[in-house]
Amino acid sequence: MNQLSNLSKTTTKKKKRLGRGYGSGKGGHTVGRGQKGQKSRTKIPLLFEGKKTQKSLMRRIPLLRGKGKLKSKKNKPLIVNVSFLNLLPPRAKVDINLLVKHRLVDEKEAKKYGVKILGGGEIGHSLIISLPCSQGAKKKIEKAGGEIVKSSQK
């Protein structure tokens, strides 16, 4: 049990509070700020660069301009073209795990953003797809004898 006589010594001192009179431990009149000048009176803004007339760096950098300015910053799904599905074995059930296993997509990004199959290229054999597909990809997969189990359009 701790007693008052056995407590450990504290070596940290309290911070001196500026501008709180003589009793605060940091003088009274200029309280460590020097005599005159901008720093003795107020705080200088973080991005201030010398003069009132000079624009700070943040105001000199241009705004987001041009095409896509009003688009949302939401991430879109990863795209896999139909031609890449030729690397998979025939009649395989295509999902995110199979694409990751065959290194067509990155696992982390695929789980985060999702995957969508687009109709670029041709497909040589039939597959069972359980991912979102575009209309063009759907036609090519069904033409090759494949089927789409779950297709949610994005």
Domain ranges of the chain: 78-148
pLDDT digits 0-9 by tens, 34-51: 888 888 888 888 777 877
Q: In the prediction, which pLDDT does 1 show?
A: 61
Fold of the 78-148 domain: Ribosomal Protein L15; Chain: K; domain 2 (3.100.10)
Whole-model pTM above 0.75? no
- Specify which residues 147 forms β-bridges with: 128
Cα angle 138, 139, 144; round to 5: 100
Q: Tell me the residue length of the chain.
A: 154
pLDDT tens digit sequence for 50-102: 777 777 777 777 777 777 777 777 788 888 999 888 888 888 898 899 899 98
Q: What is the pLDDT of residue 30?
A: 82
